[in-house]
Amino acid sequence: DLTDQDSACRLILASGWFLKVRKAESCCKR
């Protein structure tokens, strides 16, 4: 589900994982 992925992406950004996980950026940017 796209919503599920978006939620995970949001969580990563909120957690600041995007700093370590660049994939999160791609997931959010799409």
Give, for all 30 residues of the chain, the pLDDT tens digit.
567 877 877 777 777 665 666 665 666 565
Dihedral angle at the C-alpha atoms of 18, 20, 22, 25, nearest 10 degrees? Answer: 0
Dihedral angle at the C-alpha atoms of 25, 6, 8, 20, nearest 10 degrees? Answer: 0
Number of domains, the chain: 1
Domain housing 29: 1-30
Model pLDDT, residue 25: 60
CA 13 to chain centre: 6
